Structure 1
Amino acid sequence: MNDDSQTTEQDGQRRNTRRRTRTRAELLLAARKVFAERGYHEANIAEITQAADVGVGTFYLHFRDKDEVFNTLLDEGFQDMRDHVAAIVTQQAAKPILPLLVTTIFRYAYEQRDLFLIALTGQATRTRTFRAQAALAGALTQLFENASRDKLLTGYHAPVLARFVTGMITQGIYWWFEHDEPGPDAMAEQVLRLLQHGLPGQLFGHER
C-alpha cells in the first residue's frame, strides 16, 4: 500500500469514527428527550430513533436495548456533573468549599432538570434513584471526611452527614419538577442558612 492509499484509508476511518460518535451523541440526546417526556416504561426505541432521525438498526449498532441507553444516559450525565463540579471547585479554590459545592450542584441541577427528572421520578427504579443520589453525595462525602480528618468537624459521622445534606439538595431538585422558583442561588442560600444556623430555637421549645 502506497502512502496516498494509506492516508486515504486513515482519513476514511477518522470520518467513520466521527460519524459514529456524532450518531451516538444524537441518540443519547434523543433518548434524554423521550425519557423526560414519556418516562422510562412508556418510551420505546422507535420513538428514540425517530427523534434522532436514524433507523432502528442504527440504534442497535450503539446500544443493546432501551435499558442500556437509559443507563448510559445517566452514567455519562452524572459523570459530567462530577467533572463540572470538580472543575469549578478547582477554579475557585480560594472560596469556602461548602457554599461553593452546594451552589454549584444546584446550578448544574437547575440547568439539567430533565436529567434529574429521568433519574429521580417514579419511572426510575430504586437503584437508579440511588445512583443519582450517590453522584450528588460523592463530593460532599469527601469534603466532610477531609474536615473530620483535619479536626474541623467533630461529633458527626461524615458519610451520614453527607447523605443528610444530599437529601436536602435532592428535595430542592424535586421542587423544580413542578416549580421554576426559587432559582438555584436562592435554593442554595436557604440550604446553607439552615446548615449554618439551624432552625429557630422556638421550634424546640427554647425561648427567644
Structure 2
Amino acid sequence: MGFVNKPKTVKGQETLDKIILEAERLFSEQGYYKTSVKEITKAAEVGIGTFYIYFKDKRSVYQAILTDYGHIIRKTIAENISQADTRIEAERIGIETFLNLVRTRPSMYNVIWQALYVDKKLFIDYYTTFSENYKKQIRAAQDKGEIIKSYDPEVLSYMLMGISNFIGLRYAMFDDKDDLDPILDDVMKVMVKGLYSKE
C-alpha cells in the first residue's frame, strides 16, 4: 500500500497497528471529518511526529483502513467458499461469512460508507474491486452452466453485492440478535426460484 510507510521492526508494526486501530474506532464513532490527527495520536498514545512516519495525512490512514477492510472481506470469503461444491452453496457461504464479519466489526459499515463523502473515487474503487472479483466467479459459474449465460456478470455482481449489503444492514448492523439460517434460507430461495409468482 503506497499510502502507508511500512515499519521495519516488530515494535514499529505494533505502533502502526495501534494508530490504525484507534483511527478506525474514531472514524466509526465520530466520523472522518470530526476526527483529527491529534485525536488519533492521543488515543494511540503516540506523538504526532510518529503518525507522520507512517502516514502522509489523515486521508492516508483512512485509505489504509478501507483497503484493509476490502482485503479481509475478500480473503475470508474466498477461504470459506473454497470447499463449496456448487455456486449456490458458495453464494450462501459467502453471504453468511460477510454477515458474521460485520457482526464482529460493525465499524465496517460506518467507515466504508463514509468514503462517499471523504473521496467519491475511493468509494467507487472499493465496490468496483469487489465487482471485478465477483464477475470472475460468475463467469466461471456460467461456463459450468450453473448461472444463465445470457445474464450480464457486472449486473449480477452488483445485484448480489446489494443483497449482501442490505441484508447485512438489517441483520448485522440494525439488530444482530436474529438467527441467520432462516434469513439465508429466504435469500437463497429467492435466488434459486425467483421473486415473482408464475400464476
Alignment TM-score, normalising by the size of structure 2: 0.81
Q: Distance in 1 between matches of 2:107 and 2:181?
A: 19
Equivalent in the alignment of 1:163: 158
Equivalent in the alignment of 2:136: 142
Once the 2 structures are TM-superposed, how far is the Cα of residue 136 of structure 1 from its aligned partner?
Answer: 4.2
Q: Distance in 2 between matches of 1:16 and 1:149?
A: 45
Q: Distance in 2 between matches of 1:62 and 1:77?
A: 19
- Aligned mate of 2:102, from 89, 96, 109: 109
- Aligned mate of 1:188, from 174, 184, 187: 184
Once the 2 structures are TM-superposed, how far is the Cα of residue 183 of structure 1 from its aligned partner?
Answer: 5.4
Structure 1 residues 42 and 134: alpha-carbon distance in aligned structure 2, compared to 1, 3 A threshold: same
Give yes or no for contact 2:77–2:98 (8 Å, CA) kept in 1: yes
Give yes or no for contact 2:66–2:112 (8 Å, CA) kept in 1: yes
Once the 2 structures are TM-superposed, how far is the Cα of residue 33 of structure 1 from its aligned partner?
Answer: 0.3
| Residue-by-residue CA offset, 1:78-103 (whole Å, 9 max, x unaligned) | 1122221122223x344632222222
Once the 2 structures are TM-superposed, how far is the Cα of residue 138 of structure 1 from its aligned partner?
Answer: 4.6
Unaligned runs of 5+ in 1: 1-14
What's the secondary structure of 2:46's corresponding residue? coil
Equivalent in the alignment of 1:37: 29
Equivalent in the alignment of 1:98: 91
Structure 1 residues 198 and 94: alpha-carbon distance in aligned structure 2, compared to 1, 3 A threshold: closer
Give yes or no for contact 1:106–1:185 (8 Å, CA) kept in 2: no
Moved more, 54-63 or 137-146: 137-146
Q: Distance in 2 between matches of 1:16 and 1:75?
A: 21
Once the 2 structures are TM-superposed, how far is the Cα of residue 72 of structure 1 from its aligned partner?
Answer: 0.6
Give yes or no for contact 1:119–1:128 (8 Å, CA) kept in 2: no
Equivalent in the alignment of 2:72: 80
Give yes or no for contact 2:135–2:153 (8 Å, CA) kept in 1: yes
Structure 1 residues 86 and 24: alpha-carbon distance in aligned structure 2, compared to 1, 3 A threshold: same
Unaligned runs of 5+ in 2: 1-6
Structure 1 residues 70 and 109: alpha-carbon distance in aligned structure 2, compared to 1, 3 A threshold: same
Once the 2 structures are TM-superposed, how far is the Cα of residue 197 of structure 1 from its aligned partner?
Answer: 2.2
What's the secondary structure of 2:174's corresponding residue? coil
Give yes or no for contact 2:143–2:149 (8 Å, CA) kept in 1: no
Structure 1 residues 185 and 62: alpha-carbon distance in aligned structure 2, compared to 1, 3 A threshold: farther
Give yes or no for contact 1:34–1:48 (8 Å, CA) kept in 2: yes
Q: Distance in 2 between matches of 1:154 and 1:141?
A: 12
Equivalent in the alignment of 2:14: 22
RMSD of Structure 2 on Structure 1 (CA): 2.5
Structure 1 residues 146 and 16: alpha-carbon distance in aligned structure 2, compared to 1, 3 A threshold: closer
Identical-residue share of aligned pairs (%): 21
Size of the alignment, in residue pairs? 188
Q: Distance in 1 between matches of 2:175 and 2:62?
A: 25
